[in-house]
Structure 1
Amino acid sequence: MPRFTNFSYLAALVSFGMHALLLVLLGGASFKLTPEPAPPDEPLVLMRIPADPAPLKQPAALIPETSANTYPSQDAPKNPPASMDAPPAPTPEEWAFAAKYTNKNSKGYRHNWGQQVRSMMGTAIEGPDQGVVRFRIEIAPDGRLAKLDTLWSTSTKAEQLARRAIESMPPLPPTPTGKPLIFEKTISFTPYANDGPPSYKDDCLPDTPAFSNPFSWDGASAQTRKEQPTTPKLDPQAMEECLRQLPKDTLEAEMARDQRLMDQWGSSKTGR
């Protein structure tokens, strides 16, 4: 029988250790690759939610302060709708002035006619009946209504009231020129608009001609540059007659006109 040397013992020990280590590694890998089955009598639960979760606490700085007036109740009284009383009818003195004022297509007569109509329409109340209507009117030389056409209207009720007032208007004075007076007039039946008396101080100034494009071309005629129309000048006699008809403007009248404009378009009290 051959005798083993120390080297043979050492080689056998190393071989035995390597086989043992290989078995341990293979056993651990197979153990990890095979999942452990769940118990059959207990269901798989991913997350448990409490039956009555506690509410989340909000930081005190983010919670708004509330009071009794923050949320008004439905029983609280509402603001009444806005309204405006009908303006007074033109006075006999105003009609006497308008019957002789021929400047600017009988400017005073046209204003008094619209004021007379609006004064007979009654109080304007905020709501679906408020609105504006525009007419084209022809007044005969003796003051009678010759023709009335509705150009447009934003309220059927406003148009009905205006036409009813026009049909029942009192007799008017003859026109200033003794000829038919044709004009357009807007009647405002709203709680925030008022047609105040006009200003007559600039009526003797000539009208500025309307601008027209000097390079417009019809495509057929020769291309030429059109001259702009110049402002016509009144002859001395016509200017004298115009100045004679102008009413005497007073400081109180100008202040009243400025106040009407401020009331209509806003003032410093409303921040506008």
Structure 2
Amino acid sequence: MHRLRWHAWPLLLCLALHALVWLVLEGRHVQGFTPRAKPETEVVTLTLWPAPPISQAAPSRPNTPSPSTASLATQAAPPPPSAEDWAFAAQYTLKNSKGYRHNWGQQVRSMMGTATEGPQQGLVRFRIEIAPSGQLSRVDTLWSTSDMAEKKARQAIASMPALPPTPTGKPLIFEKTIAFSPFAHDDPPVYRYDCDPDPVAFRNPFVWDGQSPQVRQEQAPTRPMTEQELEDCRKQLPRETIDAEVARDRRVMERWGWSGSQR
């Protein structure tokens, strides 16, 4: 029994030493550990200083002259058609009496006076009916862009001199635009192509009334002139003038945007 106690002491001593070492190491670990503090929320404060005031100077107005002192564009009234012009127009039957219609518009514009750039300039379009005797039967205003232009045109129409009879001996019905503007051109027409057949007016070939059988309606081609008709037509054509050719070229250039004279 004594011998068993003696042999138990080394085991107890070993366990005690292990326990002591474990306590020492655990104590060092606990002492060296520092818990991480929770990060505080960072607050960034920005101070915005007001911008220095900008001195706003009054905008300088352009030195534009008033309309009363500015140089405005003007265009004098064209001369009225001459007796020779009316003699030609009275016998020219092509294209719905083309020469007569042009002379009528030139006569009206010649009696309207000088056109000045400004709010009074404009266009007016009439529907005219002239009796076979040359007397005005009816005039209707289709549209107008200037009350002054319409007023002057109607005053000129009311005081027009007696006109020659219509070329066909029938009532002449047409529409005419009178331009009361310093930038308008009332040029003589070109008669060179008046013997060419008129293009066929477009008609929808697929029009349908919803009841009758659907049939595509082909447009009838224009009947060509015979040799005799073409010869008689060409006898009416006047000799072309340089002014008419220049006017035609200018109209083509203005239509397609090639001219720098547009305003």
Picking from 118, 121, 133, the partner of 1:127 is: 118
Q: Confirm or deny: 8 A CA contact 1:193 1:264 kept in the other structure.
A: no
In 2: Cα distance, 1:9 partner to 1:226 partner: 120
Structure 2 match to 1:99: 90
Aligned pair in 2 of structure 1 residues 171, 47: CA closer, same or farther (>3 Å)?
Answer: same
How far 1:246 sits from its partner (Å)?
1.6
The one-letter code matched in structure 2 to 1:117 is V
Distance 2:142 2:259 in 1: 36
**Residue number in structure 2 paired with 1:143:** 134
**Aligned ranges 1:2-41 → 2 under 5 Å:** 7=17, 10=21, 13-14=24-25, 16-21=27-32, 25=34, 32=37
- Where 1:217 maps in the other structure, the secondary structure is coil
Residue 182 of structure 2: aligned partner: 191
Does the CA contact (< 8 Å) of 1:192 and 1:264 recur in 2? no
Of 200, 208, 232, the match for 1:209: 200
Judge which range, 82-91 or 71-80, deviates more: 71-80
Is this contact kept in 1: 2:133–2:164, CA < 8 A?
yes
- Distance change in 2, residues 1:262/1:124 (3 Å): farther
- State yes or no: 1:154 paired with 2:145: yes
State the Cα distance separating 1:138 from its structure 2 match: 1.1
Question: Are the structure 2 counterparts of residues 255 and 17 from structure 1 closer, same or farther at C-alpha, using a change threshold of 3 Å?
Answer: same
Q: Is the contact made by 1:141 and 1:175 (CA closer than 8 Å) also made in structure 2? A: yes
Secondary structure at the aligned position of 1:121 is classed as coil
- Cα distance in 1, alignment partners of residues 174 and 205 from structure 2: 30
Match status 1:256 vs 2:246:
yes
8 Å CA contact 1:118–1:187 kept in 2: the answer is yes
Unaligned runs of 5+ in 1: 36-43, 56-70
Q: How many residues align?
A: 238
Residue 75 in 1 paired to residue 63 in 2?
yes
Q: 1:198 to 1:72 in 2, by over 3 A?
A: farther
The answer as to whether partners of 1:196 and 1:260 remain within 8 angstroms in 2 is: no
Aligned to 2:45: 46
Question: Retained in 1: the 8 A contact 2:127–2:141?
Answer: yes
- Cα distance between partner residues in 2 of 1:137 and 1:261: 25
**Which stretches of structure 1, 4 residues or more, deviate above 6 A after TM superposition?**
50-53
- Letter aligned with residue 62 of structure 2: Q
Are the structure 2 counterparts of residues 264 and 123 from structure 1 closer, same or farther at C-alpha, using a change threshold of 3 Å?
farther
> In structure 1, how many angstroms separate the alpha carbons of the residues matched to 2:129 and 2:192?
26
2 CA distance for matches of 1:88 and 1:217? 52
Contact 2:102 2:189 in 1 (8 A): yes
The alignment partner of 1:136 has SS state of strand
What is the DSSP-based 3-state SS (H/G/I as helix, E as strand, rest coil) of the residue aligned with 1:112? helix
Describe the shift of the 1:21–1:118 C-alpha distance in structure 2 as closer, same or farther (beyond 3 A).
same
Distance 1:248 1:34 in 2: 104
Rg larger in 1 or in 2? Answer: 2
Cα offsets for 1:33-82 (capped at 9, x unmatched)? 597xxxxxxxx9924566887x9xxxxxxxxxxxxxxx985224487454
What is the aligned counterpart of 1:228 among 219, 222, 225? 219
1: CA distance, partners of 2:145 / 2:253: 23
Instruction: Identify if the C-alpha distance between structure 1 residues 16 and 256 changes in structure 2 by more than 3 Å, giving closer, same or farther.
Output: closer
